[in-house]
Amino acid sequence: MGAFFGIVAMVAVLITAFGVKEKPSEIEPAKIPPLKALASTFRNKPFMWLMGCFLLTNLAFTLLTTLLPYYLTYQLEMSKELPMVMIVMLGAIGVFLYPMKILTDRIGKGPAYAVGLGIAALACAATFFLPHRPTALIYVIGLVAGMGFSAQWVCPWSMLPDVIEYDELRTGQRQEGLYYGMWNFITKFTNAFGIALVGWTLAGYGYVANQSQTARALFGIKLFFGPASAIAIAVALPFLATYPITRASHAKIVEELAAKK
């Protein structure tokens, strides 16, 4: 499997490297000292707004995917169906990428992000009410969750370049590397924290591996798999719906940058 995905990744990178042609750029490298540049990112309101929302939503997705094997094995007693449930959810994410892009074009990136994650949050919350036995409803929930989580792969990655252009207009410096570095750090931090949180949760609720779980342990698995993920998303929704860089304001930023150049 490692060799297969290694080949796929290599081919994808080579296609990108040789297939994408950039226009000649006259942008000069940023001249702000590193520590001062890092501090300036915390004064970029749209970036902090977006980063906070992404931290919460990425944490929710990490909780969901990390606890899924425990939830299926002990709550639904469907451990053998784990690969198929994952295929349904991840397949739905892939299928709905383009519809989510269309929605983003129509209503804006922040509101579209909120709509998608709102759907995902409802699906996550619904898992708390599934019975302690096998049920085909998990496939329906996985499909709906994947449909909503497609926004996580479309919206934030298209919103980050807008933030960089806003920063360029504000500071006169082009600092993509700094912002993508901060973004990747937050992504890795929330992934690590989410996985650690799962471990603390399982230990705190008395989980014992490869045994029938107590009612308390099952409650902990259900709570952090569904409602906790939904709550993390719900906190971010109003901020995404009112995200300060809209289509109109971004067009103005681009126009002012072009005028300066």
Q: How confident is the model at residue 36 (pLDDT cuts 50, 70, 90)?
A: confident
**Is 26's pLDDT higher than 90?**
no
Cα distances from 75 to residues 35, 120, 124, 127, 218, in angstroms, run 49, 20, 15, 10, 6
Q: Give 141-198 pLDDT, tens digit per residue.
A: 999 999 999 999 999 999 999 999 999 888 888 888 889 988 999 899 999 999 999 9
Q: Give 202-260 pLDDT, tens digit per residue.
A: 999 999 998 889 999 999 999 999 999 999 999 999 999 999 999 899 999 999 988 98
> What residues contact 251, with CB distance under 8 A and at least 6 apart?
none
Domain-wise residue ranges, the chain: 39-260
For domain 39-260, give the CATH superfamily: MFS general substrate transporter like domains (1.20.1250.20)
Q: How confident is the model at residue 51 (pLDDT cuts 50, 70, 90)?
A: very high
Specify whether the backbone of 109 is left (phi greater than 0), alpha (psi in -120 to 50) or beta.
alpha
Give the pair of three-digit tokens for residue 90: 């991840």
